[in-house]
Structure 1
């Protein structure tokens, strides 16, 4: 009887050791750490806390914008748009000469939604940047499903590309002095340069250029 009890006790002890070992191994394999930023990034949605980038006006990025890079971004829009002179409307309007045109009332014969056609004003640097950043916020009720371009450099490059596709391209604006000065005061890590100095005192509808407004 004692041998039987000892055997049972031995198996129970062995099972406990196996369970404990499995728990330790699994905790090491599946160990996770709390990320610095909670949640998942979504294209076109501004990340909370990215105030430094968001605070810079689109002119800051347009000053060094590259139409060639903008063309690469615009390729994502060519299923619905083209920016060719005399090009036909597709699911979205032709975008030749879009800068300076009335918002939602271009001269290409495209049937815009009421949400955009009733917006008023003309397409300029800021309105195009706001539209490309978040179409539904710019014109609530628009039928455009494109989420927007959250990266201001992408927006500036696309705007520079569209600006070049015109009979009268406009000179790209210079970076605002205050934005340039603020950028110069930041180090490579985005922190104030003076922070580590003890002696210092305490971006017509377009898809990424404007996806279609049916």
Structure 2
């Protein structure tokens, strides 16, 4: 049984834990607020190279099931060496990684072959992620 006579230690730990959780929540984009219909409009920037509603590769790999999919794993698509290396340690396209990548792809994967300047507005990103999570919600 722990000695509870020093309640201050437990209080400090509790305050630290609460602060850490609060910072983590603030650091994560509020993507649950995204609008898939608006995201479909943002996705127009991506359509020349990607498809999100069917497993069909174009210049880029299809994006069906992209959320939480391991990096560089779409069958039949030839990824750049940089993307293969980026995903080599088991990275997945979780929302956080995808958000960082889509803001400025070459900042995360230096020699990616994806020629895209990035999504600048947070609201566009939220909407795009909502669309990628469920393209059928935009219909």
TM-score past 0.5 threshold: yes
Please list every run of 5 or more consecutive structure 1 residues that lacks an aligned counterpart in the other structure: 1-55, 167-214
- 2:32–2:130 Cα contact (<8 Å) kept: no
Q: Quote how far apart the aligned CAs of 1:105 are.
A: 2.0
Aligned pair partner of 1:85 in 54, 63, 86: 54
1:156-177 Cα distance to aligned partner (Å, 9 max, x none):
11111011149xxxxxxxxxxx
- 1:102 lines up with 2:70 in the alignment: yes
Q: Which residue among 74, 85, 93 is the counterpart of 2:43? A: 74
Structure 1 match to 2:33: 64
- 1:131 aligns with 101
Q: Secondary structure at the match of 2:33?
A: coil
> C-alpha distance in 2, partners of 1:85/1:145?
22
What aligned pairs does 1:115-130 form with structure 2 within 5 A after superposition? 115-120=82-87, 121-130=91-100
Deviations 1:40-76 (A, max 9, x none): xxxxxxxxxxxxxxxx53432x131111110000012
Task: Give the Cα separation in 1 of the matches to 2:116 and 2:69.
Answer: 21
What count of residue pairs does the alignment treat as equivalent?
Answer: 109
Any stretches of 5+ residues in structure 2 without a counterpart? 1-25
Distance 1:129 1:78, change over 3 A: same
After superposition, the Cα gap between the structure-2 partners of 1:58 and 1:68, relative to the gap in structure 1 and judged at 3 Å, is: farther
TM-score by length of 1: 0.47
Give the distance between the partners of 1:68 and 1:58, measured in 2 at CA. 22
Return the alpha-carbon distance in structure 2 between the equivalents of residues 103 and 165 of structure 1: 20
Q: C-alpha separation between the residues in 2 aligned to 1:91 and 1:131?
A: 18
Q: Matches of 1:164 and 1:57 in 2, distance apart?
A: 23
Structure with the higher fraction of residues in helix conformation: 2
Match of 2:111 in 1: 141
**Runs of 4+ displaced beyond 6 Å:** none
The structure with higher relative contact order (CA 8 Å, sep 6+) is: 2
